[in-house]
Amino acid sequence: MGTERRKDRMRTMVGVALVVAGAMGAVVRADELSVDQIVDRGLRANYYKGSDGRARVKMSILDTQGRERSRELTILRKDALPEGEDDAEDTFLGDQKFYVYFHRPSDVRKMVFMVWKHTASDDDRWLYLPSLDLVKRIASSEERTSFAGSHFFYEDVSGRNKNEDTHELVETTENYYVLKSTPKNPDEVEFAYSRMWLHKDTFIATQTKYYDESGENYRTYTALKVEEIDGYPTVTKSRMEDSRIGGHTDLEYSGVQYDMGLPDNIFTERYLRRPPVQHLR
C-alpha cells in the first residue's frame, strides 16, 4: 500500500506540472472524447511534437545491488509527412524515422539504432555495432527486448503501433484519462494488458503499467519531470522499473529542440557508419 500511495503522489506531482505546462502552451481541454480520439491525442503529444526533433539523453541503469551504469546518446526524429504537405502536425499520425547515436561509454560509442516506423506494416529497425563494423536488422520479434542493456525496450523508443492493441477507456478522473490496452496478438508480447494515465490537458502519458496474465503489475513507466519546450509539454525525465529483473533505468533529456528541418537522408543505412556529427552535438 505504501508503494501505491507514493506512486499516486508522484502522479499528482507530475499532474500539477502538466497543468502548468498546459496553461503555458494554451492546450485546449476536451472532456468528451471517443477512445480513438484520446489514443490519437496521446500519440500526438508523446511522439509527434513538431515535424522533427532532437534530444541529448543521459541513461542511468541501476541494478538490484545498487550498481549504476550510464550511457549518453542523441535521439533524432523526423516525421514522414504526406507528399505535397509541408505542415500536418495537427492531424499527422503517420510514418516516422528515428536515429539514435551513442556517445559514451567506450563500449557502445558510435553504436547506432535506427527505426523506420510504419503505421500500416511492421517497423524496419537496424542496429550498427561499430566493434564488428556490422549492421544488424532487428526483427519484429525483438522489439520488446532490452534497449542497450536498460529496462527500456526497443519499442519504447519509438512507441507502440496503436493498431496492435484494443483500447478501452476504463476510468476518467479529474485530471486523467485511464486507458487499458490489450494486445490483439498476445502470443507476440510478454504482457497481457497495460494501463496508461494520460493527462487531460496535455495528453502526456504520466504513467504506464504493464500486467501479466495473473493481473500482476511487473513493469512501470513513469514521467518524473515535464517542461514546456518550443511550445510543447515535454517529458524531460522518465523512469522504467521492472520487478522481474529488479532495478530501474532513468532517462534525462537535455538540449531538446523541435522543427529543426532535419534532412531526410540522415535516416538511411549510409549514415549508420557515417554519423551526421553536425546534428548530434
Domain annotation for the chain: domains and CATH numbers: 2-279 (2.50.20.10)
**Residue from 5, 45, 47, 13 nearest 175 by CA:** 13
Residue 110 has a pLDDT of 96
Reading the block at residue 224, the C-alpha cell is 518524473
Q: Which residues pair with 102 in a beta bridge?
A: 73
Residue 190 has a pLDDT of 94
* Strand duo 52-62 + 193-199: pairing: unpaired
Q: Is the Cβ–Cβ distance between 27 and 202 less than 8 Å?
A: yes
pLDDT in tens, 214-249: 999 999 999 999 999 999 999 999 999 999 999 999
Residue 29 pLDDT greater than 50, yes or no: no
